[in-house]
Amino acid sequence: MQKIVLLMFAVVAIFGANLVVAESTAQKYTCVMHPEVVMDQPGECPKCGMTLVPVKAEEKRPTLNVQRPTSNEEKNKSAHEHDIVDQEARRLKAEHGPESHDMPSHEMAMASSLNLADPMSRESSGSSWVPDSTPMYGRMFMFGDDMLMLHGAIFPRYVNANTQRGDDRIDAPNWFMAMYSHPLGENAQLGFRGMMSLDLLTEGGRGYPLLFQTGETWNGNALHDRQHPHDLFDEISVSYSQKFGHDFSAYLYAGYPGEPALGPPAFMHRLSAMDDPDAPLGHHWQDSTHVTFGVVTLGLVWRDLKIEGSTFKGREPDERRYDFDSPKLDSFSGRISWNPTKNVAIQVSHGYLHSPEELEPDANRHRTTASFIYNKPLGPDANWSSSVVWGQNHDSGHGKTQSILLETDYQRGRDTVYARFERVEKPGHELVLDPIDEERVFPINAYTLGYVRDLSHGGGIDVGLGGQVTLNDVPGALDRYYGGDVPFSLQVFLRVRPSLMGGHQMKDHEMAPNEK
């Protein structure tokens, strides 16, 4: 009898050991945005709905200050599959410096589609940088090791610009963007990006009312007091990036159209401007080259410092918004970017634009810009972002004109308050004034205040109801064109965009029942 009992215990022990081994070696699945989620079966993340990806234990990399476990230690840790992601986060912390310890591990583990050595949260328009702590609005999809990210926004609205040159209308400024990355081993990556706009359908060829705005043409005449519509295709680009050790990387970017290394991130990609439906009045002093039909950029990155050089087409897009302008690499630019902390992004840049204006083909332009962007996360669903941007155009035959912009955006839960101040020196010929005033330069000041309340929030798509008012302070010499009253504009709008990603997602109990 004793032998039978011992034999039964032996069988149970062997069976139990087999179960433990099977459990420890079974394939597990995790979420790239929520690595704490580990499941036994494939499916979707219960927090954000992303497709789960296999945990690949054989791809663990050596980590600084982490001892390689012995076989006994591996058995003891078999119940903690997510340690793989944690070790990767610690490795990236060692690479990116002590500031990265405050960043969620999923943000550190995801790489930019442009340069695999950069964190995804740093990526902005073209090859520009925003602070590493910047929240991301979008939707991510994983296809094995490949990543697809979707962004965009649309602003259905009513706008009334109340001057002699103003207008009132219903329209909907919009943009949509996709980013795709494909790794080529551990140290190289291919990236693809596309951006488009349906402005020509929602705005028409003249664009939308925006007092004192200038730039580009319609029906062969200079546009004034209107923001031009963007092209159907604003970016189609490919990039190749390569890491050379922990601290150094390089990339090559080519777009048709694309964005050269000149200026700050384009306004619709700056979080401090993302809730404002209007373009800045200094757009053509600061970031108007974000749509360029032909650009090649080479960038070198050492830790948090980047040096770039671009060659590109200097001419602005023509008024045929559906076609592709002929490519030509006749202009050049250079930019230095620095992210000294996770909350700060700084850039200075200079460029030579050959014949940028269709109506003045013999005039060339030198543009110099500088910007300081500050972002401060204030909680899981609160953030404050601010930007200071300066731009100068030096046009042959017209001299130098300056622009300065200060904008800020404070978001807490469903509520967002934003503001913008601008001062731009506008030449009379760009405002299409009478010949007697064409060569004069007029300082234009604009003060904007806006508010958005999200009607749906954190359920995948955020729909916000907003309103804003803009007051302008201009020289009295412009009264004969705009009237004697204070120029102002009002608008009421909906802001529709993807929800915050990752750790910024709303919790289920904070959503309306139909949003869960």
Q: Could you read off the pLDDT of 255-283 as tens digits, one per residue?
A: 999 999 999 999 999 999 999 999 999 99
My answer on whether 177 and 285 are in the same domain is yes
My answer on whether 156 and 100 are in the same domain is no
Helix (H) / strand (E) element for 455: namely strand 441-456
Q: Could you read off the pLDDT of 164-177 as tens digits, one per residue?
A: 999 999 999 999 99
- As a whole number, the mean pLDDT across the chain is 85
Q: Picking from 17-31, 134-148, 461-475, which range would have the lowest pLDDT averaged per residue?
A: 17-31
Last residue of a domain, one of 61, 76, 107: 107
For residue 83, the enclosing domain spans 24-107
Cβ proximity of 105 and 82 under 8 Å: no
Does 10 reside within a domain? no
pLDDT band, very low/low/confident/very high, at 244 (cuts 50, 70, 90): very high
For residues 195-208, give the mean pLDDT: 93
Residue 514 has pLDDT above 50, yes or no: no
My answer on whether 82 and 169 are in the same domain is no
Residues 229, 197: Cα–Cα separation, whole Å: 9
Does 14 reside within a domain? no
Q: Could you read off the pLDDT of 11-66 as tens digits, one per residue?
A: 444 444 443 344 445 678 787 666 667 877 787 776 556 677 777 654 333 333 33
My answer on whether 56 and 133 are in the same domain is no
My answer on whether 77 and 115 are in the same domain is no
Q: Picking from 83-97, 225-239, 472-486, which range would have the lowest pLDDT averaged per residue?
A: 83-97
What is the dihedral angle through the alpha carbons of 372, 377, 382, 388, rounded to the nearest 10 degrees? -10
Q: Could you read off the pLDDT of 289-331 as tens digits, one per residue?
A: 999 999 999 999 999 999 999 999 999 999 999 999 999 999 9
My answer on whether 117 and 103 are in the same domain is no
My answer on whether 188 and 44 are in the same domain is no
Give the residue with greater pLDDT, 100 vs 438. 438
Does 18 reside within a domain? no
Residues 287, 276: Cα–Cα separation, whole Å: 16
Residues 474, 267: Cα–Cα separation, whole Å: 23
Q: Could you read off the pLDDT of 175-187 as tens digits, one per residue?
A: 999 999 999 999 9
Does 130 reside within a domain? yes
Q: How many domains does the chain have?
A: 2
Predicted pLDDT of residue 515? 36
My answer on whether 155 and 45 are in the same domain is no
Evaluated on CA atoms 116, 120, 126, 128, the torsion sign reads negative
* CATH number, domain with residue 440: 2.40.160.10
Last residue of a domain, one of 41, 75, 107: 107
My answer on whether 168 and 193 are in the same domain is yes
Predicted pLDDT of residue 55? 76
Last residue of a domain, one of 107, 139, 161: 107
My answer on whether 89 and 176 are in the same domain is no
Phi-psi region of 488 (alpha: psi -120 to 50; beta: other; left: phi over 0): beta
My answer on whether 157 and 253 are in the same domain is yes
My answer on whether 233 and 85 are in the same domain is no
Q: Could you read off the pLDDT of 60-75 as tens digits, one per residue?
A: 333 333 333 444 444 4
Does 403 reside within a domain? yes
